[in-house]
Amino acid sequence: MNNAIKKILDKKVAWLADKGPDKDIAITSRIRLARNIDGYPFPINAKDESLVEIIDTVNFATTKTDALQESFKIRLKDLNPFERRILMERRLVSKEFISNKRTSGIVINKEENLSIMINEEDHLRIQALDSGLQLEAVWEKLNKLDNELSQNMGFAYDKKLGFLTSCPTNVGTGMRASVMLHLPALRLTNQVAPLINGVKRLGYEVRGIFGEGSESLGNLYQISNQSTLGEREEDIIFKLNKIILKVIEHEKDARIYLLEKEQNLLLDNVGRAYGVLRHAYLLNGQEATNSLSALRLGVDMGMFTAVDLHLVNDLFVLIQAAHLQNYYGNSLTQKDRDIVRAEIIRAKLKDLERKIKQ
């Protein structure tokens, strides 16, 4: 296995740290900036020698920054499909990036809360993330890194349009800010679809856990800005934060409603999920993720004394396909993964019950 991937796997996932404001509903805040180096064609039109130069330029520039002087610098060609998927499951790279056939690279800091995808759709996709609703803090960290990088390489910029990007929808600030929300109570009360439609009508994107084109498994939804042109970064963050706080308020109200008016529905949903996780011998990824979502809701609402968010979060990552394969140590078929996934979850929950009885 690639040495950098080994070291990354030794660490807890940064965006599941159970800290920050509204951490029970706002799982993580993330901001990405699209940047291109002046004088080079966009990756889609660049020759391989130019793409190599871009990687070398970015890697050198990171040595001049405070946050990325010591970091993992990985060439995508050095990773097998399994190792690439590990990075995606940890939200360090996009789904599109891991299937990239061009010369690409990634830089990741040791805390896994800052990274740069090199030669994805743009020369640089600079990312910062943290757990909870912390858009302002994430932006402060990312803005500092962006400024430091710009001092060591010239970014393509137009005085009228702003930062120039491969996709016209990113021209301007090049910013995509998003918050991942856990909304199980809104789904149980049949309010999630109308709420998502309302958010979309206001001009915001709602996507699944792994971004564009992905499913919203485990009642997890990413809400992000669409507009990047003609707005200041701080204004984008302020408006998105306002929308997110409203959604969080609706989820909290739905949880109170379940407790006061539909307690049996709540108990049945959480209890069935625990029963599946504790006793199933075959679990596909979708069923496991959705059951863990219900378990997390039960933990958030104080229905368990031993199960905590740390265990739920650890399981959420561990049951992903590539992490499962790494845990098991051998290549797994689809059926093997379903068996091992159920086995791991049963063992973790059984161990908790054993500790309670002691």
Q: pLDDT tens digit string along 324-338?
A: 998 887 788 999 999
Residue 150 shares a structural domain with residue 292:
no
Domain boundary among 227, 254, 281: 254
Residue 291 pLDDT grade (very low, low, confident, very high; cuts 50, 70, 90): very high
pLDDT of residue 329: 79
Question: Are the C-beta atoms of 126 and 35 separated by less than 8 Å?
Answer: yes
Residue 148 shares a structural domain with residue 38:
yes
Q: Which residue has the tokens 């996507």?
A: 207
Residue 354 pLDDT grade (very low, low, confident, very high; cuts 50, 70, 90): low
**Rounded Cα distance, 191 and 208, in Å:** 17
Q: Which CATH number covers residue 61?
A: 3.30.590.10
DSSP 281-339: S---HHHHHHHHHHHHHHHHTT--SS--HHHHHHHHHHTSHHHHHHHH-S---HHHHHH
* Region 117-129 average pLDDT: 97
Residue 236 shares a structural domain with residue 312:
no
Residue 335 shares a structural domain with residue 227:
no
Residue 241 shares a structural domain with residue 278:
no
* Region 124-145 average pLDDT: 96
pTM of the prediction? 0.92
Residue 287 shares a structural domain with residue 195:
no
Residue 156 shares a structural domain with residue 21:
yes
Residue 134 shares a structural domain with residue 278:
no
φ/ψ bin of 20: left (φ > 0), alpha (ψ from -120 to 50), beta (otherwise): left
Domain boundary among 254, 288, 314: 254
Residue 1 pLDDT grade (very low, low, confident, very high; cuts 50, 70, 90): confident
Residue 44 shares a structural domain with residue 163:
yes
Residue 304 shares a structural domain with residue 215:
no
* Region 198-211 average pLDDT: 85
Q: Which two tokens stand for residue 295?
A: 């378990």
List the domain range (segments joined by +) for residue 47.
3-254
* Region 94-116 average pLDDT: 92
**Rounded Cα distance, 293 and 316, in Å:** 9
**Rounded Cα distance, 21 and 178, in Å:** 15
pLDDT of residue 211: 53
Residue 267 shares a structural domain with residue 206:
no
User: Does 55 have pLDDT greater than 80?
Assistant: yes
Q: Strand, coil or helix: what is 47?
A: coil
Residue 145 shares a structural domain with residue 279:
no
* Region 156-185 average pLDDT: 95
Closest CA to 29 of 40, 37, 20, 38: 20
Query: Length of the chain, please?
Result: 358
How many domains does the chain divide into? 2
Domain boundary among 230, 254, 278: 254
Question: Are the C-beta atoms of 225 and 284 separated by less than 8 Å?
Answer: no
Tens-digit pLDDT profile for residues 210-263: 555 445 689 999 999 998 888 899 999 999 999 999 999 999 999 999 999 999
